[in-house]
Amino acid sequence: MGADKLMELVIELVKVEQPENYEKESWQMYEEEKLKEVPHLKELGNEEFKKKQYQKASSYAKAIGIIEQLMIKEKPHEEEWNELDKMKVPLLLNFAQCKLSQGDYYPVVEHCTTAIKTEPDNIKAYFRRAKAHVGAWNTKEAFEDLKKATELDPSLATAVKKEMAALE
């Protein structure tokens, strides 16, 4: 065994950030902070969507992730869990619209299906999922979703006929 050797380390402090001057990751937040962050992230996503900056609208995904983190701590289908699940639906549909605008159809189908599980009569979810099925050449599924959207809201018949014509 050799003798102990001295080692000299040089550390350079590049930057000091105060806790209030940086954006926390969701794992660093308390539950109350997470609940306050969701509407903020939704608004950021809405702003980016209006600018047609669909890739930057990823704040919807962050908000969905935060809600899912909170849902894990709750017992499924109890009041708090159901409230969080309902809060997630508009985020799923907004994020699905961004993905649809980018031509990324499979996440649209996934997000709309999740929304439909929570809100089985959500017309937007059926219509967006149908458009994604059209884009992915899943004509049978597209027809089924368009039919369901028309059943839920007969005033959509004209828009549905237009989408069905695109399939033929």
pTM of the model: 0.82
Confidence of residue 17 (pLDDT cuts 50, 70, 90): confident
Residue 21 clears pLDDT 80, i.e. is over it: no
The pLDDT of residue 167 is above 80:
no
Report pLDDT for 22: 72
pLDDT for 123 beyond 70: yes
What is the distance between the alpha carbons of residues 65 and 37, in angstroms, rounded to a whole number? 11
29 DSSP assignment: S
Residue 15 has pLDDT above 90, yes or no: no
Task: Show Cβ contacts of residue 123 under 8 Å, excluding neighbours closer than 6 positions.
Answer: 149, 152, 153, 156
Task: Tell me phi and psi for residue 21, to 5 degrees.
Answer: -105, 10
What local confidence, expressed as pLDDT, does residue 129 receive? 97
Give the residue-averaged pLDDT of 19-39. Answer: 82
**Which of 3.30.950.10, 1.25.40.10, 1.10.287.70, 2.40.50.140 is the CATH number of 105-168?**
1.25.40.10
User: Is residue 87 very low, low, confident or very high in pLDDT (cuts 50, 70, 90)?
Assistant: very high
- Rounded Cα distance between 38 and 133, Å, is 29
Q: How confident is the model at residue 102 (pLDDT cuts 50, 70, 90)?
A: very high
Structure-model confidence comparison of residues 46 and 22, the more confident one: 46
Residues of the chain within CATH 1.25.40.10 domain(s) are: 31-102, 105-168
User: pLDDT for 35-79, tens place per residue?
Assistant: 899 999 999 999 999 998 888 778 999 999 999 999 999 999 899
The pLDDT value recorded for residue 1 is: 61
Q: Which CATH class is domain 31-102?
A: mainly alpha
